[in-house]
Amino acid sequence: MEFSEQDVAKIIDMVLRTTGEAPFDGQMQAFSERLQVLVPFDTLAIFPIPPAPGPVPGSSATNSLVYFSPELVQRRSVIDLDYSDFAQHDPKAAAVRMPWCATSLTHYQAASEFDRSPYTGEFLTAYGLRFEAGISIPVADAGLVAIGLHRSRPRGDFSGQEIALLRLVAPALSLCFRNTLVRRQLRRGLAQKKPQTTEVLAATLIFDRWGRLDFADPEALQLLEGEALELLASDARQLARAAPLAPPLERRLPLSNGGAVCARIVRFEQGRQDLKLVCGLARIPRRAFDNFASEAERHGLTSRQREVARCAIRGLSNSEIARQLSISVSTVKHHLAAVLQKTGLHSRTELAGLLLGGLGPGWWHTDLSCEGEFGEA
C-alpha cells in the first residue's frame, strides 16, 4: 500500500502532536482530530484490553487509558446500552486480542448477517452506527489498548488504505500510551515521597538503550543546563549495560541559581526486547541549601567540611570540588569521609537527604511496572 507525501506529512504531524506533554485526554483529542483527516469517522473509542479474563472493555472498571470522542460521549449519555452486554456477540472479539491487528468489522461479518447479530443489529444500530475499524496496540506487558473507529451507513465502509493507515500511526500511539503510564507512575511516587524543603518537579526523560533521547517533558529540557543532558545520557547507557536488577543511578546537577537538580535513572523493561531508561528529575531550590547551616552545626562539621559537603550535595565531582576550593582531590576525599563519619551516613545521596530536608534514597518509587494501570483502582 502506497501513500502520498501529503499522507505521510499528516502522519508525522500526528506523531508530534500525540507524543507531547499534555493530559491524556488532551493528547487523545489532538490525535482524534488528526486521525479524522486521514480516516474519517463518526465516533472513536480507546480502551484497555486486560491481559487476562477480567472486566470487559467499556465496563465500569477504572482504567487509566480510556478515551471516548465527544460524539460518542454524547450518544452514550442518552443510550442505555453498554458494550459489556454485547461483547460475547462481537464478531471481531478474537481479533481485538491480537497485537497490531488492524481490521474492519466487515472482515468478520457478512452484510447479510448485520441485522441478525445482537452486537450489530441491536448495539451498533442503537448508536446509529454501521461500520467499524480498529487496531490493538501492546503497551508494555500489561495488556493491549484497543482503538475503535465507527461510521454511520452514509459514510460507507473503511477502505483497505484506511486500515493500512491505522497500522502506520499505531507505533506513535504506543509511545504515547507508554509515556503516559510512566509519567503517572513518576508523579504518584513523587507525591508520596515529597520532601519538606524541596520543590519537587515531576519532569521525565526517557532514553533508549543507546542513550538516545526517546521522550522529554518540556519542563525537563527547561530545567537542565549545560552538559547535563549529555551526562544523563551517559548514565543511561551505563545502566542499560548493567544487570537487569541493577540499582538505579543517581546524580545531582548544580544550577546557576544556586539550586540543584536531582536525577534518578531506572531500568524500565517493556517486554523482552524493549528496554528503556527512565529518568525522573526533582528540583532543589536555593533556599533548601540555606537550611543547610543548622544541620551542619548540629553534626559538628568544621567550616571546610561544610564547604566540601555543600559542593558535594550540589552534584559536583571530587575534582570539581578541588578546583572550586583550591585544594587537592585527596583532601576533598578526606573531608568527605569525615563528614560521612560525623553524620553516620554512607553516601552523598544520604548526605543530601539529611542536609537538604529529606530528599534521600527512594525519593520516587523505582517500580515502574504497569501492573495496576489496567485494573480497578
Looking up cell 495496576 gives 372
**174 part of a folded domain:** yes
| pLDDT confidence of residue 365 | 40
Pair (62, 144) in one structural domain: yes
Do residues 266 and 314 both lie within one domain?
no
Query: What single letter denotes the amino acid at residue 230?
Result: E
pLDDT per residue over 197-238, tens digit each?
445 555 778 888 898 887 777 777 788 877 888 889 999 999
d(CA 288, CA 358): 10
Range of the domain at 249: 194-289
- For the segment 104-126, the average pLDDT, to the nearest whole number, is 90
Q: Which of residues 110 and 9 earns the better pLDDT score? A: 110
Rounded CA-CA distance 80/225 in Å is 55
- Answer yes or no: do 274 and 296 share one domain: no
266 assigned to some structural domain: yes
pLDDT at site 55: 46
- pLDDT computed for residue 251 by the predictor: 80
Report the C-alpha gap between 363 and 360 in whole angstroms: 6
Confirm whether 368 is domain-assigned.
Answer: no
For residues 235 and 268, state if they share a domain.
Answer: yes
Q: Domain check: are 136 and 50 in the same one?
A: yes
User: Is-contact 34 13, C-beta < 8 A?
Assistant: yes
146 and 274 fall within a common domain: no
CB atoms under 10 Å from CB of 243, counted, come to: 8
174 and 232 together in one domain? no
Say whether both 169 and 31 belong to one domain: yes
> Is 372 part of a structural domain of the chain?
no
In this structure, the answer to whether residues 116 and 170 fall within a common structural domain is: yes
CATH code where residue 226 lies:
3.30.450.20
With a cut of 50, say whether residue 135 has pLDDT above it.
yes
Whether residue 209 is contained in a domain is answered as yes
Same domain, 245 and 343: no
pTM of the model: 0.58
Question: Which has the higher per-residue pLDDT, 312 or 217?
Answer: 312
Please check whether residues 259 and 167 belong to one and the same domain: no
Would the pLDDT of 338 be above 80?
Answer: yes
User: Could you tell me the CATH number of the domain that includes residue 304?
Assistant: 1.10.10.10
Count: domains in the chain: 3
Strand partners, 215: 206
At 155 the pLDDT is: 92
Burial of 110 (0-12, 13-18, 19+ CB in 10 A): exposed
CA 213, CA 237: separation in Å to the nearest integer?
11
